Amino acid sequence: MHSFRHPGLVLTDHRFTVPLDHDDPGGEKIEIFAREAVAASKADENLPWLVYLEGGPGFGARRFVGTEAWLGRAVREFRVLLLDQRGTGLSTPANRQTLPLRGGPREQADYLAHFRSDSIVRDCELIRPRLTGGAPWTVLGQSFGGFCAVRYLSAAPEGLEQVLITGGLPSLDAHADDVYRAAYPRIERKVAAHYAHYPQDVERARAITAYLAEHRPDSAGHRLTPEGFQSLGILLGGGTGSHQLHYLLENAFVTGPHGTELSDTFQEAMRTATSFDGHPLYALMHEAIYGQGERPTGWSAERVRAEFPQFDAAASLAGQGPVLFTGESIHPWHFEVDPALRPLRETAELLAARTDWPALYDTARLAANEVPVAAAVYHDDMYVDTGHALRTATSIRGLRTWVTSEFEHDGLRAGGPRVLDRLLALVRGESDR
């Protein structure tokens, strides 16, 4: 183990070896990385553990600098474990550079089938006794981390002292199609709110889309397309995302010797915002996290989008309507335009066609739940449907919700100690609402 210090913190790196397939404990092993954070003044105390499960899928745990955001509140009473879920961060990587070591696309898809919440929870249950001596711990799950927390409640509640969920109550039985049918109208509302605040962006977005449709520029091997531009709407799910999008759009064009063209600044910003270089598992596994049973996900976001013709950029340009941005959705074209994903296109196709996904949630066990649970549900969250979240909340015995419009999906980061304080008060019965 390696330890180092930040202001107010002692940080210690841990590495754990776990089975790739927990049903085959003697088989292939992978490595899980996690970073422990404890208040410097309490480093020698016997504190209870809190494990943080990041959103995603496909993102390593956030790298905090000191006691920023919610971490400062957490280390007042917990020893915190910032877990890099399998395939992310400093855990054994899964990307275009490493997946060919598995073999061809079929072998890669079979390997990635072990990278969902069920496997992540079993990783946690192997790690927990090594750190806590067998005592249960608190789980804090953000977004997809909340999906993992609900799986934890279904599969291993004996390992849990209490559960805190922020923007991450999944539907227990919705197919990916149901998720996206609920998502597109929600995205449209976020886009309408953005254009109402920044009406000048309507024409800017049309002009950018028209330019990309005609020219299809290349930025460091990443092909910039109208569909890729629309996907910048993912920014609208964060508290400051509308402002970030506006600032990006206002810098779109320059005039050069050949006339008006997209600025290098804009092209680089768009490439950076839409590239999966740093988190390819997000694209590969995004629809797979909803897979349960024999029905394939089958590029759900792409199929369902056809039911919402107002998102067709070409039709918008041909008419007078605004170009609508999209949000948290993955499409086949992502694997054509992004060099980080291009070699993995066939692997993604096999995952989309898969028909043997295990069930993730045990409704009977959740209905009999005895673990204290509190969840922040962000009203009209762009990433997680409020209706789906509240139906799940009523299906988990004893779960207490805090429904708020004060924050967007990034409330845990943006709200810092306030969000964690509220959830801890709820789960401990110290707050009535």
CB atoms within 10 A of CB 302: 17
Q: Catalytic residue at 264?
A: no
Residue 277 CA to residue 290 CA, distance in Å, equals: 23
Q: Which of 23, 356, 405, 432 is catalytic?
A: 356
Q: Which of 119, 143, 171, 395 is catalytic?
A: 143
* DSSP line for 349-368: HHHHT---BPP---HHHHHT
The β-bridge partners of 255 are: 260
Nearest to 370, CA basis, from 140, 162, 145? 162
Residue 80 CA to residue 11 CA, distance in Å, equals: 10
Residue 65 CA to residue 53 CA, distance in Å, equals: 18
Nearest to 81, CA basis, from 93, 71, 89? 71
Residue 353 CA to residue 298 CA, distance in Å, equals: 5
Q: Catalytic residue at 171?
A: no
Whether the ω angle into residue 57 lies within 30 degrees of 0, i.e. cis, is yes
Q: Which of 91, 381, 409, 410 is catalytic?
A: 409
As a residue count, the chain comes to 433
Q: Catalytic residue at 409?
A: yes
Do the Cβ atoms of 53 and 85 come closer than 8 Å? yes
Do the Cβ atoms of 13 and 2 come closer than 8 Å? yes
Catalytic residues: 143, 356, 409
